[in-house]
Structure formats: structure tokens, C-alpha cells
Amino acid sequence: MVSDMKKLLALVRRDTIKEDAVAGLVLGVESVPDGLAAGLLAGVNPLYGLYAYMAGTFTGGLFTSSSFMAVQATGAMAIVVADIEIVHAAEDPGRMLFTLSIVTGAVMLVAGIFKLGSILRFVSNAVMVGFINAVGVNIILGQLDNFSGYDAQGSNRVIRALDLLVNFTQVHLQTITIGILTIVLIVVLERTKLGPLGMVAGILVTSAIVPMLGWDVAQLRDIADVPRSLPFPVMPIFGAIPSLIIPALSLAFIGLVQGAGISSNFPDDDGTYPDISQDFIGQGAANIAAGIFQGMPVGGSMSASSLVKSAGARSRIALLIASVVMAIVVLVFGEAVGFIAMPALAGLLMTVGFRTIKPTDITSVWKTGRMQATVMTVTFVLTMIIPLQNAVLVGVGISMILYIIKQSNQITIKRWIPDGAGNLREVEIPATVGARDVVILQPYGSLFFASAPVFEELLPDVVDTTTDSVVILRLRGRTDLGSTFMDVLRRYAEELSGANSKLVIISADEHIHEQLAITRVTAAVGSENIYTSDEWVGATLKRAHADAREWIAARGNVEGDVTS
């Protein structure tokens, strides 16, 4: 314990503590209403959002590689939690939620320990744009009840929004007035010297109006007791862990994607960029801490990270100070927090939702191409009508399929023609293999299983006039081809053999040679026609080309590029 305290104190630097203290104060004060709003957005006790902010920001500040990553409950993750029925229908929803946080943290820890950040490369920008913008719309629609005072009915947010529209005359005038006034004040006050604290001021002002005017408007204390104490540790529901793995995977994926964006956009004070895998570990530890201390799932928050950085933070101490500020607010002003007006929190969330929608990103993807526009649209629609934890996994699946389609269509083959000076001319491949010819083929692009049919279609056809020819396939640099591609090579070798011609393969990788033997390609081609290239680029190709000329010459006169 003493050594840990010394390490923590070592983070405090005299030359930066003033800037960190100011930035931490700004983030801490702003995070109180924001944390409560996150819990409200998730459909759980708003205090669980605030507790998650406290535990997540502090633990993330200790363990992430990034000095400025604020690990908090993001809007996207909160929306997903709101759609997880197993949490809300549980006998003890609170402990089920905390268990979900811990399982989500375990998934993030595994991703960090095994350095699985590369998986995020497979998620296309079109999917993320569709998903994030749909989340923004969902945030707005999800708060219409608290904003209007009308309890809309329907199976999803879109239907409930339509129900509100049809029954708009039933909205509670005082409630919707507070909500609208909150949005106006936030927008106006943020443009003053208050800056980010304008959001806090806006909520405080409108919440104060309610008791001053004696209005019948719902307050936070109506749905949750706000104790003047910090949360005590709780044990997870171990038996529920298997049923929470799928939603935890969805939450972890969203948190890690958002966290990766912070890692790549917020260099540390010395100019170096954080280690994404360590940031994964930090987010995982933050989720476990949040779950233990009665908090909902958390992840890297782009808005909070931007806020603490723009407020002048110089080190991760600012994040630790922000957590302490939140704790002090709960301990000292716990009762006052209960008077926050629910439509004020709804107005805050609707402002956040509106700012999450990025028309420029939508336009950019739309203009990229029909495929990208379709993927974005499908992701957006699915996110609006099905539970978000499923929509996330569908989006990942769409990205994977899109990646496979893209890679399989990028394969091309060129013909290389050598001249007498040892140079190579690259031209289009012939439609057919001729008579007494040497055809050198150089493939470009991915040769994994999905592209094998495309590759086979591109190969020069073996026709009735094909005879006494050699096709040389250069596979230098390839390390794994797979059985599907090997089947293509075997069939092509057998076709050439039936036309008194042959296939020659050049490769430098031992694993490729093993695959050729196992899949019987070597038997079809002949071991003497498998060439192993060395460090001299082109040397093996020259030797194979010379051998092909001799082979053809032994069978008759050589024509075409063989004589060049």
C-alpha cells in the first residue's frame, strides 16, 4: 500500500499541478450531471452512471497508456445498456448491471493482453458512421418521455416517438418548458466565459426554477435516493455471467473503438502516442472497478477527453482530481443533487445526441460509392429498429463481409515478358495459352479463399490450340494460400498437362511448399517444376524461364516471347 501511494504521488509534478487541478475541477463538476444523465439514458438508476464516472475516470487514469483518456459511460454504451432486457428484467437489476460491467471489463482486458487492437481494422468507416449517427438519433428519441412528460407507448424508440407525435396535445407544458429552456441555456452559456461549465450552469438554473415557481416537474429524487456517501463494493452475480457474454462483447467493442479513436488523436504531453493495447487494459480495469463500486459499463469518452485536454490538463493527474471532485460533490451536495429536474437532464442528453449526429460524415460516405452508402444505410436502419447490442454485432458482421468482398475483388494478374537485357515488361495477360509459348504470370492482391474463384476466372484459358507451353506462376512473398487456392492450382496444372503443357510455380516460403505437397499440387505439377526463390529478386524467375525455353525447344520450335 505504501509503495502504491508513492507511485501515485510520483505522478504529481510541481510544474503542472496547477493546470491539472483546474482541468480536473472542470471535468469533475461537468461530469456530475453528465454521469447522472448517462444512467438516465441507460434506463437505470442515474446514480449508477455517476458512480461509473467516479470509478471509471480514476481507474482509467491510473492504468491507461493515454494521459488524457477519460473513461466514462459513453452515450453509445448507455444506449446499448438500455436495450439489454436481461438486465432490466432481472430480479436484482442493479447487481445484474454491475455484473455486466465486470464481464465487459474482462473482455477488454483479454483484448488488451492479447493485443487484439488489429481486429478494429475490419470495421469499415461506413458501418461506424451509420451506427454512431443512429445512436445520436436514439439518444434524442429515448429522452422524449422525460423531456415532454408524456409516457409514450411502443416496442422501440421510433414507435414511441410516433406515439408522442400523435398525442402531442397530452405533453406536460411545464415539463417541456424546462427541457427546452435547458437546451437554450446550454447552447448560450457554453459560448460565454463559462465554456463547458455552461452545461452545468444551464441544468442548475432550470432545476432551480422548478421549486421557485412551484411547478409539478419530476426531479431526480423522485426516481432515486441520492445518499451523501460513496458507493460500497458489491459482489457480482456469478451465475449470470454466461448470459451476459454477448452484450458484454457488444459493449466492449463499442468502448474499444471509441477508445482507439482517443488513443490516435490525443498524444501525451511529450508528443508520443499511447499504446492502444495498454489503453484496452486500462478500460478493462476501469469497467471492473465500476462494476465493483455500483457503476454501469464505461469506455473511452471522446467528449470528456477533449474537455479535460482543452481545459489545460498536462498529465493524468487531472483525471484523478476529476474523480475526487465528483466524490466531494456526492458527499457534500448529495441532497441538492436530488433536486435536479428530469427534463433538464433530458435536455442535456438531447443536446449531446444532436451533437453526435454528423451530417458531414454521412455526406462523405454517401458520395464514396453505392456499396458504402448501402452499408451505412443498412447499419443505421438496423440500429434504429433492433436492440443495439445485436445491431453492433450485425455491424461487425457487415464489416467483415464487406472486407472479404473487397479483398476478393482486388485480385489482378499481369503478364511479365523478359527482354534480352534482363528487363521485364508488364502487360495484360492473354485470354488463352498459345502454342509453344512461355507465359509468366504475376498476381497482385489478396489470394485468400474468397478471391480464389476470381483468380481462377482470370487465368488464361487452356484451349484446343494450346500445346507445348509453359505457364510460370510467381508467388514470391506469399506465406499462406489455403486449400481453396491450392485446388485452383491443381485443376489448372491438370488442364495444362492434358494439353501437353505444364505449370511452373515459384515461391520462397517453406509453408507454401508444404501446402503444395499436402494438397497434391506438387504431384500434379511435378516436383521438378516447383522452384524455390532466394534473396536475389528475379534470379529464380530467369532460371525458370530458361528451363522453360529448353523444355519447349526439346519438343519443337519456340515461338512468342520465348525467343526474346
What are the residue boundaries of the structural domains of the chain, listed by start? 2-117+151-356, 412-563
Grade residue 122 by pLDDT with cuts at 50, 70 and 90.
Answer: low
Grade residue 399 by pLDDT with cuts at 50, 70 and 90.
Answer: confident
- Name which of 348, 331, 357 is nearest 30 in CA terms: 348
pLDDT of res. 2: 45
pLDDT of res. 187: 93
Residue 557 has pLDDT above 80, yes or no: no
Alpha-carbon gap, residue 356 to 128, rounded angstroms: 12
Coil, strand or helix at 425: strand
Residue 281 has pLDDT above 90, yes or no: yes
Grade residue 194 by pLDDT with cuts at 50, 70 and 90.
Answer: confident
pLDDT of res. 558: 47
CATH 3.30.750.24 assigned to domain 412-563? The reply is yes
| Range 185-220 burial, b when 16+ CB lie within 10 A, else e | bbeebbeeeeebbbbbbbbbebbebbeeeeeebbbb
Residue 358 has pLDDT above 80, yes or no: yes
Grade residue 92 by pLDDT with cuts at 50, 70 and 90.
Answer: very high
pLDDT > 70: percent of the chain:
94
State phi, psi for 219 to the nearest 5 degrees.
-120, 165
Alpha-carbon gap, residue 251 to 242, rounded angstroms: 15
**pLDDT digit string, tens, across residues 147-187:** 999 999 988 889 999 999 999 999 999 999 999 999 999 99
What mean pLDDT comes out for the span 196-202? 87
Grade residue 11 by pLDDT with cuts at 50, 70 and 90.
Answer: low
Grade residue 529 by pLDDT with cuts at 50, 70 and 90.
Answer: very high
Residue 1 has pLDDT above 70, yes or no: no
**pLDDT digit string, tens, across residues 222-275:** 887 778 889 999 999 999 999 999 999 989 988 888 888 787 777 776 677 788
More confident residue, 448 or 34: 34
**pLDDT digit string, tens, across residues 422-433:** 789 999 999 999
Grade residue 118 by pLDDT with cuts at 50, 70 and 90.
Answer: low
The pTM score is 0.74
Largest separation between any pair of C-alpha atoms in the chain: 106
